């Protein structure tokens, strides 16, 4: 990998993340690399300015923070196919990030990148757009929204908890109506995020699939389902007289959805590219560590494993 121009995004409001970003910027600049650096957070999105001001290809984005910081980078950089090195500096769970222990010798990490001693993991994303009327109308009335974890359709109100009524179509066929707190449409990456908290399925991140998980449905028959990646999920808000239904992307507010409108959700044409430094990366080890799987209450030895 060439390191001629690099983005460094640090978690907004986190002093540790910022100090490491400044340290890495100095190290890269000493290698004659141009650095674009800024904070990333709910109120800070540096990527449009970085992309607009760049006069040469961006080789990599170094993202220092937690999963939220990595998700923001993926949404903004996937379309430009910029690889992301996400490092858990000031983050919490860290499903999407490399550990700080691997990164703390950052000079060695930059040597590895320059020598192509790393792997690239491509993760499926979702895209959503809002349309007026039925599926024959293909002229969107909203921007395109990207998500690495999930697209969520649920209401929001400042003064009360609202029950939503949503109708879902899959590839133009009505599947069900859901009454509850909303619907989560997730990628395999997102199956271990909001979806798993809503009792949805865990799907290996090497697969291409879409999961639909109801949030606190008022019917025991409303169950999560797993769909082929080529499916188009359309959601209609019903009986929303106060216009509270919202579209959320990776837990970030996207736009409002009014009765008479539908949101179409499908696999995005772009994939997020994450740089992997770990030489022994294991999806199952990540599940065990991050979800703290304890196994059976009594541990049994498996004496047959090495026979």
CA distance 163 to 245: 10
Q: List pLDDT tens digits, range 275-301.
A: 999 888 888 988 888 888 877 777 788
* Secondary structure element (H or E) that encloses residue 142, with its range: none
Task: Quote the pLDDT of residue 237.
Answer: 96
CA distance 124 to 101: 27
How is 165-212 classified by DSSP, letter by letter?
EEEEEETTEEEEEEEESEEEEE-TGGGGTHHHHTTPPP--TTS-EEEE
Residues in the chain: 307
DSSP SS3 for 147: strand
Backbone phi, psi, residue 264, to 5° = -100, 130
Q: Parallel, antiparallel, or unpaired for β 261-276 and 119-132? A: antiparallel
CA distance 69 to 192: 17
Q: List pLDDT tens digits, range 30-50.
A: 999 999 999 999 899 999 999
CA distance 52 to 251: 26
| Structure tokens belonging to residue 170 | 């899959």
Rounded CA Rg of the chain: 21
Q: Which residue has the tokens 């300015």?
A: 49
Q: List pLDDT tens digits, range 93-113.
A: 788 999 999 999 999 999 999
Residues belonging to the active site: 67
Task: Quote the pLDDT of residue 181.
Answer: 95
Rounded to 10 degrees, the C-alpha dihedral 151/157/163/166 comes to: -40
Low-confidence ranges of the chain (pLDDT < 70): 306-307
Specify whether the CB–CB gap between 154 and 161 falls below 8 A.
no
DSSP annotation of 201: P
The angle at the Cα of 153, spanning 201 to 147, to the nearest 5 degrees, equals: 70
Task: Quote the pLDDT of residue 307.
Answer: 62
Backbone phi, psi, residue 254, to 5° = -100, -65
pTM of the shown model: 0.92
């Amino acid at each position: 990998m060439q390191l001629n121009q690099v983005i460094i995004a640090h978690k907004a409001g986190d002093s540790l993340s910022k100090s490491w970003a400044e340290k890495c910027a100095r190290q890269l600049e000493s290698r004659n690399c141009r650095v674009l650096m800024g904070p990333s957070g709910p109120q800070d999105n540096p990527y449009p300015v970085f992309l607009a001001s760049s006069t040469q290809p961006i080789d990599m984005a170094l993202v220092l923070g937690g999963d939220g910081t990595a998700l923001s980078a993926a949404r903004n950089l996937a379309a430009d196919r910029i690889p992301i090195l996400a490092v858990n500096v000031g983050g919490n769970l860290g499903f999407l990030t490399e550990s700080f222990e691997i990164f703390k010798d950052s000079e060695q990490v930059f040597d590895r990148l320059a020598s192509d001693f790393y792997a690239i993991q491509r993760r499926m994303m979702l895209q959503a757009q809002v349309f007026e009327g039925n599926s024959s109308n293909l002229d969107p009335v909203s921007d395109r929204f990207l998500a690495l974890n999930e697209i969520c359709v649920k209401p929001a109100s400042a003064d009360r908890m609202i029950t939503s009524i949503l109708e879902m179509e899959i590839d133009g066929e009505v599947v069900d109506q859901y009454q509850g707190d909303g619907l989560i449409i997730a990628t395999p990456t997102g199956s271990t995020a909001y979806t798993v908290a809503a009792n949805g399925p865990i799907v290996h991140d090497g697969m291409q699939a879409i999961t639909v998980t109801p949030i606190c449905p008022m019917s025991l028959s409303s169950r999560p389902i797993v769909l082929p990646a080529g499916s188009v999920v359309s959601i209609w808000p019903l009986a929303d007289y106060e216009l509270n239904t919202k579209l959320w992307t990776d837990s970030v507010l996207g736009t409002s959805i009014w009765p008479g409108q539908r949101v179409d959700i499908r696999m995005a044409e772009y994939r997020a590219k994450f740089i992997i430094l770990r030489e022994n990366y294991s999806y199952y080890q990540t599940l065990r560590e991050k979800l703290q799987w304890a196994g059976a209450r009594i541990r049994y030895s498996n004496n047959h494993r090495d026979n």
